């Protein structure tokens, strides 16, 4: 099926005419957003017991849908492995990719992609069985390491071991489930990926408490949504959807109080919610686009705590993902 | 044209448009033009679109650093810090060929055994073979691979209590470890011994055939050959002072490292592919044998040939003519099916080149084209070889 995907990719690129109408108009005409998500990463994107997609990354698609259609549910999901995701986006099979994807130079510049920002600042970590007695990643010389193909993870891994003059054997899989099964069976000593991903995978192991995430963070992994290169209007909608989530938290707007916020005294709140100015029109969407995002999906903090925060099985602290006003990196340009 | 009353070929020349030869040349020319035109249009349009979407194109990525590790590379040392996507391609090709060749050899041997036994007069043997064939043939290959990898090899003992054989071979979840032969100075002597042995075998074979033609006496060519193949290189090795040392796997904190290793991913792939294909080959062999008319074996028995010899000298050579053509397509299937390795962490061309390299370099079109060209070449080579073999064994009309 993979080859079919790649073949369609090749075929679409060979066939389509070069003139492209704006994707925003196309999406509106189509009536839904085709959103590429993870095949199953607890907390980030996974189908719930009713088969409905849920998670931190899924909520970004829903926020975009709220902005474009005034209804967060006009989304269709395409589950993608790390290997398939860029081809799916390049070929136009999906409109936006929201799948714990690291923003890197090559992907941005060479693959015809456009990263619109980061909604989760992460870093790569290592997980080992506690009974190995390993306390630091520097002790991993000679270990065998399970990794997922098509990720920054496999590149960082080679870099890290090379820098520290250590050797490793890699066992490479395409799907997280396969890695988990192999790691659980003891095929490899180490499971490495983004620390958020490790938290999610660890919660699914047979005995999570037998495993330990080592203290080292060996890379920068700014995860964020991606659109195709050259779709600037659509990219703007994606970018400012992300900033709406962040700025809503900053301004104290939540899904619970967004209605009363409409009578706020703060001009930025009024501009954001479409009471004043015409930001919606400039963006090519309705005036109440940001209202709809916050009302139906929530602000950044709500989304975070709902899916990955300390009260979820992932138990992730906000850490560097706190607002800039609280010592974190989440920062949105002014809405004016 | 010849003179005389011979009227053939003297019909008036048809006009240019009515000459079927000329007409067909023109039509074919038009088809070629349309094809070339379309191809040019697609290539051009693709290049345009790629450029417009800011996607890199061209083949320069082959010399760009790959930066990732590939799990298995038995033929060349792969170093993630220096390897390029070109290296990944080569490793992928070599690994695929290794899987295909081992798989084909194993599948053929197992398939022949089961195909012949399936016809055994012994009811139990024949029923067992029947079930073997039916079960393996009717379960999807992907499922079988997952079964071998996760359900069978995944339950091997952990690295702390690996099974050991004479303290030379070790088996645990990370694979099977054994001593790696490392050739020393003078190793060429053994190679020379091998060449001499093979030459001797050819001479003996010809001599034996001639003698049998003349005197009717049979010479045990097979056993003599086997003996020569072992004894001559052994003598050569002894003269050179046994120029071979063994590197044994060493224990480290995490498990065994070094020496020779068969990875479970590779083992599961070869096992799954060859067992699955062997079931089809068994059926082909069975039908091939059944296609040889019963009168042939009866005639052989009447001449006093024992059943084993009848099979080897009379039935199999005739059956082969029926067996070889469908066998070719099984070999092609096995080679192409090796791409299912992606599901169990294998490291053949589809997994590492059309998978990882494609993702990291992002050049789907070039990479898929190269991969397809590779499969096409291998398939054509297999077909060519099998056609040659088929012609060789074909009935010689006298
Ligand atoms: N952020 C990295 C890694 C992303 C990634 O694929 N992570 C894995 C491990 S957490 C994953 O999401 N696997 C889930 C799956 O494929 O089902 C990247 O963009 O390359």
Same fold, A2-121+223-326 and A124-219: yes
Q: Which two tokens stand for residue B340?
A: 């299912």
Query: What is the domain partition of chain A in residue ranges?
Result: 2-121+223-326, 124-219
> How many percent of chain B have pLDDT more than 90?
32
Q: What is the DSSP letter of B123?
A: H
Q: Are strands A143-148 and A168-173 parallel, antiparallel or unpaired?
A: parallel
Contact A211, A129 (CB under 8 A): yes
Task: Give the model's pLDDT for residue A1.
Answer: 45
Spatial distance between the Cα atoms of B367 and B350, rounded to a whole number of angstroms: 10
pLDDT band at B69 (very low <50, low <70, confident <90, very high): confident
Q: Which of B48, B49, B355 sits opposite A149 (nearest CB)?
A: B355
Q: Per CATH, the architecture of A2-121+223-326 is what?
A: 3-Layer(aba) Sandwich (3.40)
How far off is chain A from B287, nearest CA to CA, in Å?
Answer: 33
Picking from B199, B108, B114, B195, the residue whose alpha carbon sits closest to that of residue B389 is B108
Two tokens at B224? 């003599």
Q: What would the pLDDT profile of A241-289 be if each residue is shown by its tens digit? A: 999 999 999 999 999 999 999 999 999 999 999 998 889 999 999 999 9
pLDDT at residue B398, as a whole number? 58
Residue A170: strand pairing partners: A145
Residue B54 sits at the chain A interface (C-beta within 8 Å): yes
- The string of DSSP letters for B39-69 reads HHHHHHHHHHHHHHTTB--SSGGGGSB--S-
CA distances from A237 to A56, A96, B25 (A): 18, 11, 58
Query: Which residues, including other chains, have CB under 8 Å from residue B313's CB and lie 6 or more apart?
Result: B300, B305
Q: Which pLDDT belongs to residue B178?
A: 84
d(CA B257, CA B275): 30
Q: What residues does A36 pair with on adjacent strands?
A: A78, A97
For position A308, what pLDDT does the model report? 93
Ligand 1 contacts CB of residue A39 (under 6 A): yes
A190-194 and A143-148 as β-strands: parallel, antiparallel, unpaired? parallel
- Residues B351, B339: Cα–Cα separation, whole Å: 7
pLDDT at A221 over 60: yes
CB of A110 within 8 A of CB of B56?
yes
Query: Distance, CA A175 to ligand 1 centroid (Å)?
Result: 9
B326 touches A: beta carbon within 8 Å: no
CA A58 – CA A204 distance, rounded (Å)? 20
Tokens (6 digits) for B122: 């012994």
B368 and A CB contact within 8 Å: yes
Displacement of CA A100 from its chain's centroid (Å): 3
- pLDDT tens across A120-166, in order? 999 999 999 998 889 999 999 989 999 998 899 989 999 999 999 99
Indicate if the pLDDT at residue B149 is higher than 70: yes
Q: Which two tokens stand for residue B245?
A: 């040392």
Which ligand 1 atom is at minimum distance from the Cα of A40? 17
Give the pLDDT mean for B296-301: 89
The reported pLDDT for the residue numbered B1 is 45
The domain ranges of chain B are 85-139+265-393, 181-247
pLDDT for the residue A190: 94
Note the pLDDT of residue B142.
Answer: 93
Q: What average pLDDT does the segment B253-279 reach?
A: 89
Do the chains contact at A158 and B68, CB–CB below 8 Å? yes
pLDDT over threshold 60, residue B321: yes
What is the overall mean pLDDT for chain B? 86
Which tokens sit at B226? 């086997």
Size of interface A-B (CB pairs under 8 A): 153
Provide the pLDDT confidence category of residue B213 given band limits of 50, 70 and 90.
confident
- How far is C-alpha B37 from the geometric centre of its chain's CA atoms? 38
Q: What is the pLDDT of residue A18?
A: 42
- Our CA-based measurement puts residue B255 at a distance from the nearest CA of chain A, in whole angstroms, of 8
Mutate to test the pocket of ligand 1, among A43, A78, A82, A126 (most ligand atoms within 8 A of CB): A82
Residue B50 confidence (pLDDT) above 60: yes
Averaged pLDDT, B337-345: 89
Q: Ligand 1 pocket, A148 CB below 6 A?
A: yes
Mutate to test the pocket of ligand 1, among A37, A38, A126, A154 (most ligand atoms within 8 A of CB): A38
> Would you list the DSSP string of B226-294?
HHHHHHHHHHHHHHTT--EEEEPPEE-SSSEESSEEE-HHHHHHHHHHHHHHHHHHHHHHHHHHHHS-H
Q: Cβ(A193) to ligand 1 under 6 A?
A: yes
The answer to whether domain B85-139+265-393 has CATH 1.10.3720.10 is yes
Q: What is the mean pLDDT of residues A203-228?
A: 92
pLDDT tens digits along B237-255:
888 777 777 888 888 778 8
A142 in Cβ contact with A188 (< 8 Å): no
Q: Residue length, chain A?
A: 336
Check CB contact of A106 with chain B, cutoff 8 Å.
yes
> Looking at residue A17, what is its pLDDT?
46
**Which range among A251-255, B189-193, B216-220, B320-324 shows the weakest confidence by mean pLDDT?**
B216-220
**B residues 163-222 lying closer than 8 A (beta carbon) to A:** 173-174
d(CA B261, CA B248): 10
Can you point out the beta strands (E) in chain A? 33-38, 46-47, 53-54, 75-80, 96-97, 113-115, 120-122, 124-129, 143-148, 168-173, 190-194, 211-213, 221-223, 226-228
- In chain A, which residue's Cα lies nearest the Cα of B346? A172
- Read off the tokens for B212: 């049998």
Which uninterrupted H or E stretch holds B172? strand B169-172
**Cα atoms in the 13 Å half-sphere on the side-chain side of B193:** 20
Show the DSSP H helices in chain B as ranges.
20-52, 85-117, 123-138, 141-146, 188-215, 221-239, 264-291, 294-302, 307-309, 316-337, 349-351, 358-361, 364-393
Is residue B46 predicted with pLDDT exceeding 60?
A: yes
Give B202's contacts (C-beta < 8 A, 6+ positions apart).
none
Which pLDDT score, from 0 to 100, does residue A227 have? 95
Determine the residue of chain B that is closest to A186 in CA distance: B158
State which CATH number among 2.40.50.140, 3.40.109.10, 3.30.420.40, 3.40.190.10 fits the domain covering A124-219.
3.40.190.10
- Cα–ligand 1 centroid distance for A309 (angstroms): 19
Max CA distance (Å), chain B: 99
Q: Which of A77, A67, A5, A87 is nearest to A45 (CA)?
A: A77
Rounded to the nearest whole angstrom, what is the distance from the C-alpha of residue B356 to the centroid of ligand 1? 13
Residues of A in contact with B69 (CB under 8 A): 154, 157-158, 168, 170, 172
Question: Which of B89, B68, B71, B94 is closest to B80 using CA atoms?
Answer: B68
DSSP per-residue codes, A259-308: HHHTT-S-HHHHHHTTSSS-HHHHHTS-TTHHHHHHHHT--HHHHHHHHT
Q: What is the pLDDT of residues B18-41, one digit of tens each?
A: 888 888 888 899 999 999 999 888
Closest residue in B to A5 (Cα) is B364
Confidence of residue B145 (pLDDT cuts 50, 70, 90): very high
d(CA A51, nearest CA chain B) in Å: 24
- Chain A residue with CA closest to B49: the answer is A18
Per-residue pLDDT, A13: 58
Instruction: Specify the 3-state DSSP secondary structure of A158.
Output: helix
Q: What is the pLDDT of residue B141?
A: 92
- Separation of A233 CA from ligand 1 center, angstroms? 28
Q: Each residue of A49-94: pLDDT tens digit?
A: 898 999 999 999 999 999 999 999 999 999 999 888 998 998 899 9
> For residue B250, what are the contacts with CB-CB under 8 A and spacing of at least 6?
B256, B257, B258, B259
Note whether A163 and A139 are within 8 A (CB).
no
């Amino acid at each position: 099926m993979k080859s079919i995907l790649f073949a369609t990719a090749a075929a679409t690129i060979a066939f389509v005419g070069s003139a492209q109408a704006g994707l925003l108009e196309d999406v509106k005409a189509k009536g839904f957003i085709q959103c590429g998500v993870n095949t199953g990463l607890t907390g980030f994107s996974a189908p719930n017991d009713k088969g409905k997609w849920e998670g931190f990354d899924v909520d970004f698609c829903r926020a975009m849908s709220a902005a474009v259609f005034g209804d967060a549910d006009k989304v269709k999901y395409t589950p993608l492995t790390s290997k398939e995701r860029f081809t799916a986006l390049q070929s136009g099979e999906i409109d936006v990719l929201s799948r714990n994807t690291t923003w890197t130079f090559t992907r941005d510049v060479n693959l015809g992609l456009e990263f619109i920002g980061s909604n989760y600042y992460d870093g790569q970590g290592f997980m080992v069985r506690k009974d190995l007695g390993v306390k630091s990643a520097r002790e991993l010389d000679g270990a065998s390491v399970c990794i997922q193909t098509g990720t920054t993870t496999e590149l960082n891994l080679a870099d890290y071991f090379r820098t520290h003059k250590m050797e490793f054997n890699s066992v490479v899989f395409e799907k997280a489930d396969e890695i988990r099964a192999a790691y659980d069976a003891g095929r490899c000593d180490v499971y490495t990926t983004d620390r958020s991903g490790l938290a999610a995978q660890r919660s699914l192991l047979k005995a999570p408490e037998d495993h330990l995430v080592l203290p080292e963070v060996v890379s920068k992994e700014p995860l964020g949504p991606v659109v195709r290169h050259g779709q600037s209007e659509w990219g703007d909608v994606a970018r400012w959807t992300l900033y709406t989530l962040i700025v809503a938290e900053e301004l104290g707007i939540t899904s619970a109080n967004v209605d009363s916020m409409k009578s706020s005294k703060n001009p930025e709140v009024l501009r954001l919610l479409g009471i004043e100015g015409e930001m919606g029109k400039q963006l090519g969407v309705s005036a109440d686009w940001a209202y709809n995002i916050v009302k139906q999906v929530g602000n950044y903090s709500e989304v975070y705590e709902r899916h990955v925060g300390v009260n979820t099985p992932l138990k992730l602290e906000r850490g560097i993902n706190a607002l800039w006003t609280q010592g974190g990196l989440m920062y949105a340009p002014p809405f004016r | 044209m010849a003179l005389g009353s011979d009227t053939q070929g003297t019909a008036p020349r048809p006009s240019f448009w009515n000459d079927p030869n000329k007409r067909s040349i023109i039509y074919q020319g038009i088809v070629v033009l349309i094809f070339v035109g379309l191809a040019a249009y697609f290539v051009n349009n693709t290049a345009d679109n790629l450029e417009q979407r800011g996607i890199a194109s061209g083949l320069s990525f082959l010399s760009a650093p790959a930066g990732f590790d590939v799990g298995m590379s038995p033929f060349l040392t792969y170093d993630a810090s220096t390897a390029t996507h070109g290296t990944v391609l080569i490793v992928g090709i070599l690994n695929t060929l290794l899987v295909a060749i081992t798989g084909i050899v194993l599948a053929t041997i197992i398939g022949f055994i089961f195909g012949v036994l399936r016809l055994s007069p012994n009811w139990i043997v024949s029923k067992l073979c029947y079930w073997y064939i039916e079960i393996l043939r009717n379960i999807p290959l992907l499922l079988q691979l997952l079964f071998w990898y996760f359900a069978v090899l995944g339950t091997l003992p952990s690295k702390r209590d690996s099974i050991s054989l004479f303290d030379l071979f070790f088996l645990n979840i990370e694979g099977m470890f054994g001593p790696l032969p490392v050739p020393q100075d003078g190793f060429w002597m053994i190679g020379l011994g091998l060449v001499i042995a093979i030459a001797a075998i050819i001479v003996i074979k010809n001599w034996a055939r001639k003698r049998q033609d003349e005197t009717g006496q049979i010479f045990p060519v097979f056993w003599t050959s086997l003996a020569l193949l072992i004894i001559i290189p052994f003598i050569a090795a002894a003269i050179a002072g046994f120029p071979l040392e063994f590197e044994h796997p060493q224990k480290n904190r995490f498990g065994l490292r070094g020496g020779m290793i068969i990875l479970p991913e590779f083992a599961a792939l070869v096992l799954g592919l060859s067992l699955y294909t062997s079931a089809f080959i068994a059926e082909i062999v069975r039908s091939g044998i059944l296609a040889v008319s019963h009168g042939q074996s009866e005639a052989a028995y009447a001449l006093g040939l024992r059943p084993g010899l009848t099979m080897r000298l009379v039935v199999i050579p005739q059956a082969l003519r029926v067996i070889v053509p469908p066998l070719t397509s099984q070999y092609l299937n096995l080679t192409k099916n090796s791409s299912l390795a992606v599901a169990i962490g294998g490291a053949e061309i589809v997994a590492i080149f059309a998978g990882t390299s494609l993702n990291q370099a992002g050049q789907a079109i070039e990479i898929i084209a190269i991969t397809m060209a590779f499969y096409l070449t291998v398939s054509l080579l297999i077909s060519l070889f099998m056609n040659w073999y088929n012609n060789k064994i074909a009935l010689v009309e006298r």
